[in-house]
């Protein structure tokens, strides 16, 4: 039984680990080729104790831990490398089963890329067919979620929310695996599992995205998604094979993980962050206008009621009957409240960007210190 390890859970940790491992690292990467490198990486990770696993803060949801077969990881990576370019997103279905509070993902299959030609492509039919076929070859055929690639961490979107909601609505234990190919290319596998929080599920069910609804449900951007800890597991045979492979493989010349160049990635992230900030600003302005007009109307309404009351009092003193009640809501139609969900999503997206940039800079900082130390050591 190989040791599962928590991959997600903060790259800061990872960097610290790296620093503490220090000179060991280059050696362990010695033999990794591009494709194999990952396996080695995974393997290397496996060799360490799951210290952080206990810290997994799963909430009171059905799934507290996710165990992914190495095969699934490789399949996802391969799918992106073959079909996704640039900002294009690839998606697929996860198959597996639930054991206690642990979701085991044992296999997956991709969705074909949509093109203009096959507009009449039936996704549902395709999925059913695929699952049936897989069942014939004795593979788990239970639908447990879906995966998606992302471009610089920009995955917090309405589309993701909607489809994850429908998955989770139909299949309670569904998760979405988000795979970041760019980060992975930099040397650290980035695979994260998300679920919608029960609160958000409630809101989505009621379709109430007004600020009151969000307020009632007490949903902030932090409590939209919950991240589920992931454990990658390989069969013993594979582990053995990998150890063997490590001995045989030649030294790799390149170590992406230790690359010091950072400009382009930061720039890109910043650019996207900035776009989001712009959106946010716009939203705030919209909201501001809304609340201003709302308050103005409230004032008018108030005045109107007061006037009414005064007049009624006068009439009463004169012995006349009071004025008939009029429908105030008709007189003062409240302005259309802007939906808050998009703002929430943008905030969530900004948060993710910040996280990634933060992680990235922290790692780079570590790497720089390391490089400095090495330089000092060498000279």
Report d(CA 298, CA 328) in Å as an integer.
11
Please report whether residue 302 would count as binding other proteins according to CB under 8 A.
no
Least separation in angstroms between residue 154's CB and other proteins is 16
Please report whether residue 73 would count as binding other proteins according to CB under 8 A.
no
- Pattern 341-360, other proteins, x by CB under 8 A: --xx--x--xx--x--xx--
Of 314, 59, 44, 72, the C-alpha closest to 195 is 59
Report d(CA 41, CA 349) in Å as an integer.
29
Report d(CA 12, CA 33) in Å as an integer.
25
> Using CB under 8 A, which of 285, 323, 331, 373 touches other proteins?
285
Least separation in angstroms between residue 278's CB and other proteins is 6
Q: Which is nearer to other proteins, 58 or 291 (CB)?
A: 291
Half-sphere exposure in the Cβ direction for 234 (13 Å, CA): 23
Tell me the backbone φ, ψ of residue 103, rounded to 5 degrees. Answer: -100, 120
Distances (CA, A) of 377 to 23, 226, 256, 259: 11, 44, 22, 19
Least separation in angstroms between residue 356's CB and other proteins is 10
Q: Which is nearer to other proteins, 104 or 283 (CB)?
A: 283
Please report whether residue 266 would count as binding other proteins according to CB under 8 A.
yes
Return the C-alpha torsion angle 145, 151, 156, 162, nearest 10. Answer: -50
Please report whether residue 267 would count as binding other proteins according to CB under 8 A.
yes
CA 108 vs. chain centroid, Å, equals 19
Determine the interface stretch with other proteins among 25-33, 65-73, 272-280, 308-316 (rule: CB under 8 A).
Answer: 272-280
Please report whether residue 368 would count as binding other proteins according to CB under 8 A.
yes
Least separation in angstroms between residue 169's CB and other proteins is 23
Touching other proteins, residues 202-231 (CB under 8 A): 211, 214-215, 218-222
Report d(CA 163, CA 293) in Å as an integer.
35
Report d(CA 172, CA 198) in Å as an integer.
11
Least separation in angstroms between residue 291's CB and other proteins is 5
The structure tokens listed for 327 are 């429908």
- Under the rule (CB under 8 A), what is the footprint of other proteins? 211, 214-215, 218-222, 262-263, 266-267, 270-271, 273-274, 277-278, 280-281, 284-285, 287-288, 291-292, 295, 298, 340, 343-344, 347, 350-351, 354, 357-358, 361-362, 364-365, 368, 372
């Amino acid at each position: 039984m190989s040791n599962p390890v928590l991959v997600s859970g903060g790259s800061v940790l990872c960097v610290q680990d790296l620093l503490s491992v220090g000179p060991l690292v280059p050696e362990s990467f010695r033999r990794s080729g591009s494709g194999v490198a990952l396996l080695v990486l995974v393997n290397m990770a496996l060799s360490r104790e799951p210290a952080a696993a206990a810290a997994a803060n799963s909430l009171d949801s059905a799934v507290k831990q996710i165990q992914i077969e190495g095969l699934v990881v490789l399949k996802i990576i391969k799918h992106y490398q073959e079909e996704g370019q640039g900002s294009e997103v690839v998606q697929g279905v996860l198959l597996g089963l639930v054991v206690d509070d642990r979701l085991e993902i044992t296999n997956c299959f991709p969705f074909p890329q949509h093109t203009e030609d096959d507009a009449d492509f039936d996704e549902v039919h395709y999925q059913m067919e695929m699952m049936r076929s897989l069942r014939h070859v004795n593979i788990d055929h239970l639908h447990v979620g879906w995966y998606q690639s992302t471009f610089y961490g920009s995955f917090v979107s309405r589309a993701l929310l909607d489809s994850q909601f429908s998955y989770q609505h139909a299949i309670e234990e569904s998760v979405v695996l988000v795979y970041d190919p760019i980060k992975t290319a930099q040397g650290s596998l980035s695979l994260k599992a998300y679920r919608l929080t029960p609160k958000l599920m409630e809101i989505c069910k009621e379709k109430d995205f007004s600020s009151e609804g969000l307020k009632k449900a007490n949903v902030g951007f932090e409590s939209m998604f919950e991240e589920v800890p992931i454990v990658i597991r390989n069969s013993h045979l594979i582990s053995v094979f990998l150890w063997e492979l490590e001995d045989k493989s030649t030294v790799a010349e390149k170590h992406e993980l230790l690359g010091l160049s950072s400009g382009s990635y930061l720039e890109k992230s910043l650019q996207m962050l900035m776009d989001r900030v712009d959106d946010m600003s716009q939203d705030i302005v919209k909201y501001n206008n809304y609340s201003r007009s709302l308050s103005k109307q409230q004032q008018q309404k108030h005045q109107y009621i007061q006037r009414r009351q005064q007049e009624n009092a006068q009439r009463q003193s004169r012995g006349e009957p009071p004025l008939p009640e009029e429908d105030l809501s008709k007189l003062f139609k409240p302005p259309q409240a802007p939906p808050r969900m998009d703002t929430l999503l943008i905030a969530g997206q900004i948060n993710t960007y910040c996280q990634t940039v933060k992680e990235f800079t922290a790692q780079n900082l570590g790497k720089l210190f390391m490089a400095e130390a090495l330089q000092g050591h060498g000279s």
